[in-house]
Amino acid sequence: MRGHRQDERPLAELDDRALLAAHVAGREGAFGELFARHRDRLWAVALRTSGHPEDAADGLQDAMVAAYRRAGSFRGDAAVTTWLHRIVVNACLDRLRAARVRRTDRLPDDLEEYGDRGDARTAAPETEDPAEHSVRAERRRAVVDALGTLGADQRAAIVLVDMEGYPVAEAARILDVAVGTVKSRCSRGRARLAAHLADLLVDDDRAPGQAHHPAAGNPDAGPHVRPDDPRGPPAPRS
């Protein structure tokens, strides 16, 4: 990335690689633009990996400081988003391991679902039946509680593959492990979630044979629920 002529186009017109190159070249605001572009997805991953908003904020802050300082080491052998997610996940896992967080710690239960990837969020339709809304909320709380029982490595794999919808191969690049390792962690994590969510499988009101829960599917696909803290990600601290 070094030694290239600086791209003078407006920052908003630059792709991720060009933004990172501009930051390394010393262009003011380039890293801030890059972070703003991916802020919500990075925050969602940090929140679900850490399990608590405060820990997620600290983990995300650690990760962005590291990315800011180590931008020159980006080799370009993966997407910039993969590189950023890897730093965020590692920072959050480092904090979890250092603090020896209990496997039964609860994840926040006040999270809403993304309607699509990125910033878009979908609220419950105004016409939704109150009973159905209550059922959905109860299921979300059950999933949140079950996620809190997973170890850090399994949780990270489940978050990336089943919640953020990343292909297993990209999740493996983010976590810097083999594809088989991600599949194994997802498989074990889903089995554990299935045990905790057995009642949901019995009571699922979907069509027969279409039980929908975080342990369903195969190692290459999941329900792709994308929860996030409704308060949104914190702004980087100066």
pLDDT per residue over 152-181, tens digit each? 899 899 999 988 889 999 999 999 899 999
Question: Are the C-beta atoms of 163 and 222 separated by less than 8 Å?
Answer: yes
- The answer to whether residue 6 sits within a structural domain is no
The answer to the question of residue 39 being in a domain is yes
Domain count, the chain: 1
**130 lies in a domain?**
yes
> Which range of residues forms the domain containing residue 172?
11-228
**pLDDT level of residue 146 (50, 70, 90 thresholds):** confident
The model's pTM is: 0.66
Q: Is 1 inside any structural domain?
A: no
20-46 pLDDT per residue, tens: 999 999 999 999 999 999 999 999 999
Question: What is the model's pLDDT at position 48?
Answer: 87
SS3 of the chain: helix, strand, coil, percent, to 5: 55, 5, 40
pLDDT digit string (tens) for 189-214? 999 988 888 766 555 545 444 444 44
Residue 2 lies in a domain: no
Whole-number pLDDT of residue 31: 96
Question: What's residue 220's pLDDT?
Answer: 41
- pLDDT at res. 118: 36
- Alpha-carbon distance values, 155 to 51, 129, 185 (Å): 9, 32, 8
Position 18 in a domain: yes
The pLDDT assigned to 217 comes to 39
Question: Is 138 part of any domain?
Answer: yes
Q: 94 vs 203, which has greater pLDDT?
A: 94
Burial of 187 by CB count in 10 Å (0-12 exposed, 13-18 middle, 19+ buried)?
middle
CB 144 within 8 Å of CB 225:
no
CATH number, domain with residue 83: 1.10.1740.10
pLDDT score for 120:
30
Q: Is residue 29 part of a domain?
A: yes
